[in-house]
Structure 1
């Protein structure tokens, strides 16, 4: 069997040929070939799916569905030009067309997602990134497949071994009559050797075991295992080419942390992100709480007095001010003070952590020695063992204020810095 790009691996071909159970799950490491296998099998199913019911594609958001599902299905290089012409989808739409069949597109990114399945009479479904679905949503989706012969096809990256997907479904595959296939990065022979080597360098610890080896492992210990003060903390900064943002974790009783992040080229001609400066106020240590207006004024003074490295210029105006999304009153204060380009931070915790971890692992993130709050927090930033036992990946909410600001800044401005650091691999 072959795609338009070339021959499938034996494991891919086997999974497609054997995916005839009522529920079929492809799980394993990133870029291991599981998604293409599942999509080709989904195409085959749509061509012969029972009539009289709804066919559904589900994912976390419309953007992820468009990128992960319909992007490949509409790519002639993947499915061939004749098939690609028979797949139609507009990003953000709740309806698609595959091989002449109408497809309902349903997102599942919050607790209300289950209600979107009401009235569905399922004849088959494709589920993108199963571990990111709410548990109740997937249970309802399964219950809704009431047309005789209905089948579900799902993909997922590994997660915590106590995650409901692992406990309730994968571990009970034989008992429930479902089929599963485990993929590792080395199961995809189409990947160039240099890409595989780069991926293996990009991850450490937990992320390496999950996204390279495909293991379902519990989060434990330090979050940023690759962080090395001798390597990542610098005395000298290069000239900053772009002042991307100042990123704020807001606190009144807890510390208020604001990190200034820029993009520059080091002496080794490698482009990196640099945490150039830090403003931090700890009300407990200072024995004085500050108001929103005082924080805004302090921020303005701090930026106005910050020098541009390798120049005689004083004063920085970052492209964006990224603020803790829960700090609505402070965001309003910044607007009143006519601060431009203020935006709530992208608070995707695990995605943000994974991005910072990859930056450290690839030596693409350096911190100036003056940023003592961040430097003090990074080594102790750890996973919450109690949450891990419940199948959740969460950091311990203690001494994490500058770490949160770092995550906010790098995640929210990724579209700005990504073109300059194109080969950094951050698994979705």
Structure 2
């Protein structure tokens, strides 16, 4: 197969040597020896093009076996990561062939194995498997020696998927490369930006560090985009998105380490019903009136009896439970029959419920155990739809995703102090304030 001698990133010399033209940010990632390397880059900053060279070197180093390339979805794989992978592994290195069915994979040929390891690798089969992170169960299989995760910061790349990948790498202590733009505040921010653990390296570079990124486009984006969006997508900095609904929630002030909740503290449960997504949050009230969200639940494909049994397990006694929309009485009846009495929420209006939960955070009455990753992930991203100028509108973006926060709204509406009137609440910001139509 023919290929260009120099495409700006790869260069094939007259002597047949392949050279990479890395910019400084890519060089920093290349020289990292950490087991987990997270490349956080601005759009078109050169993050995806860096993945195949890194994986090629990892295969050379770790030897024959299985390797992974994982993207949030297969359409995203086909759009960018797979073409970049095939350009290096097929066109430039001629290491084997890509097979699209029944399982997406790249099989390294005998010739490719000799090129990688000489005669020592000929007796082993080496395959690069392509997976998607929307379904964590699809990533549970045999062991792997290394993995490249592209666009791992997208909302559809679940924390459970990353955990499944790390389990596959555990036997060989395989290294993992994550390449992404900071799309939202989620598990990746918490794990790599906020409190990176041992043997973790975060490399950040802006779009403009890529020599191929036009300065004119950088300046256009800086002028045209809202500052938070420009910082996120071009400067690769985590910033709070516009229209964040629970802006009163502060990670430092409103989270805490888990502790044994005394059995005599009053307990409350919020429930959001669903055939595929049933979610719950558990709160306990301390003697000084502070509410601690100490447990979360999210499961599907179970009967009401099955959910009720799982929810009641480990709880010291009966809790006051609230859940469901006004029209979901059948769900409440089925949970009651299964032993969990779920009451109708005291308010049905979504915005009123949001204001009540917002007021709990604003008054420093609600804290979340930092082990409740799902709740924290949703709190960081629960926001309004924005217009073309980045101004928040009234509608909630991706409203159907926030099952745990719906559950919190159902129970939080009840937990405002008795005797507190609506005029005493700290209201959530009006998304339409200041806009003219």
TM-score w.r.t. the length of structure 1 is 0.47
Q: Which has the larger radius of gyration?
A: 2
TM-score normalised according to structure 2 size: 0.46
Which one has a larger percent helix, Structure 1 or Structure 2? Answer: 1
